[in-house]
Amino acid sequence: MTLELKQIAKTVDGSVHIHPTDLTLEPGSFNILLGTTLAGKTTLMQLMAGLDRPTGGSLHFNGKDVTGMRVQDRNVSMVYQQFINYPNFTVFENIASPLRVARRNEREIKERVGRMAELLKLTPMLDRRPSELSGGQQQRCAMARALVKSSDLVLLDEPLANLDFKLREELRDELPKLFADRDCVVVYATTEPTEALLLGGKTATMHEGSVTQFGPTGEVYRRPKDEISAKVFSEPPINTATIRKSGGTVDLGGVAQWDTPAVLANRPDGDYRIGLRPHHVLPQAKGGATVRVQGKVLVTELSGSESTVHFTVGDETWVSLAHGIHSFDVGSTAELYADVSHAFYFGPDGGLIAE
């Protein structure tokens, strides 16, 4: 099934929740909505499902306008971060319920429920009721119920958020495989850039109700079309600042200078924006990280074998993320080193400047 959003929009009491959006999701595709909380991910998914009515635009399944179709008449599954189960049903009956509605035979029901329970580590709990399960197990039960039927559209709204770390890792690997041989459209919402990269597929970055970019996940990460998309797709947040090009030199607020990059060589002198991911700013000169940047240390965080240093660069707060133990005194002036060969340069309109 192909899902098309044509200028779909949602406004509530004069407040814009979703700006007019065009999006085409292909059959068999795994699509990620990536954005911070309140970016509009859940609202957009509810519009796709028919749980909410748009105030503008239209929604199409295989070319058919389904904007006004009731959710009951759409072959859609949705899983929320907050799990929902039938309290009086066993886990088996919860998972089997959509198959019974679809009048599947008992043999098929048993087979499909068993396969889904095995995938989600629920086999030992099939005879229990939701009240006898942990929170993570209840979420897995809700996921299994949504995934067991052959839906045309599967909507997963941060479904792994309440699961333990190990199971999250396992399911991240298994979910794309689970849909690999299906013709359905899968939409997966997350706030975590790392999760988007691990899941692959295609990613739509969202910011304040707008889809800012859509394409293959790796391409969107490596080549954000503008500063907003770059910020959405970076954790820790991408380091940004205003720079000034003057002939053959670029200056970052007087705290760092380097040769004008090729991408700006034919651009007029003046102010531009730079974006640099935290793992390209290091506590010591190493590899391509040779441009010295001075800043005042705000805090140093040590996590296992990684060090995260927050420091000010002019009016901006930057982050350095590096392997190894690196500690700086709070309030001290530190010298860090940027690998500007990996920098993004943005024009006055915020758009990426490409060679």
pLDDT digits (tens, 9 = 90+) for 97-138: 999 988 999 999 999 999 999 988 899 999 999 999 988 888
Contact (Cβ atoms closer than 8 angstroms) between residue 28 and residue 53: no
pTM: 0.90
Band the pLDDT of 206: cuts 50, 70, 90: very high
- pLDDT at residue 40 is higher than 80: yes
* Mean pLDDT to the nearest integer, 219-244: 96
Q: Same domain, yes or no, for 35 and 157?
A: yes
Domain membership of residue 353 (yes or no) is no
Q: Does residue 181 register a pLDDT over 80?
A: no
Domain final residue pick, 232, 260, 294: 232
- Beta strand segments in the chain, E: 3-12, 15-25, 30-34, 56-61, 64-65, 76-79, 153-157, 185-190, 202-207, 210-216, 239-246, 249-252, 256-259, 270-276, 281-282, 291-303, 306-313, 316-323, 333-338, 344-346
pLDDT value of position 189 = 97
276 lies in some domain: yes
Contact 76, 151 (CB under 8 A): yes
For residue 253, the cross-strand partners are none
CA distance readout (Å), 248 to 158, 251, 290, 341:
47, 10, 18, 16
Domain hosting 336: range is 239-346
**Does a structural domain hold residue 352?**
no
User: Per the structure, how many domains does the chain have?
Assistant: 2
Q: Is the pLDDT of residue 35 over 80?
A: yes
> In this predicted structure, what is the pLDDT of residue 33?
98
| pLDDT for the residue numbered 340 | 96
Same domain? For 196 and 338 the reply is no
Please tell me the predicted confidence (pLDDT) of residue 258: 97
Residue 212 has pLDDT above 90, yes or no: yes
- Same domain? 248 vs 170: no
What are the backbone dihedrals phi and psi of residue 261, each rounded to the nearest 5 degrees, phi first?
Answer: -70, 160
Q: Dmax of the chain from CA atoms? A: 76
Average pLDDT, the chain: 93
Q: State residue 314's pLDDT score.
A: 84
Same domain? 151 vs 219: yes
Q: Of 172-181, 199-208, 250-259, 338-347, which range is least confident?
A: 172-181
DSSP string, 73-97: GS-EEEE-SS----TTS-HHHHHHH
CA atoms within 13 A on the CB side of 163: 22
* Residue predicted with more confidence, 32 or 334: 32
Show Cβ contacts of residue 26 under 8 Å, excluding neighbours closer than 6 positions: 2, 185
Tell which of 171, 200, 232 closes a domain. 232
pLDDT tens per residue across span 42-85? 999 999 999 999 999 999 999 999 999 988 889 999 888 777 89
Half-sphere exposure of 214 (CA within 13 A, CB side): 16
Alpha helices per DSSP H over the chain? 41-49, 91-101, 106-119, 135-148, 165-178, 193-199, 217-222, 227-232
Q: Which range, of 80-94, 173-187, 259-273, averages the lowest pLDDT?
A: 173-187
Tell me what pLDDT residue 239 has. Answer: 97
Residue 176 is encoded by which pair of tokens? Answer: 């794309």
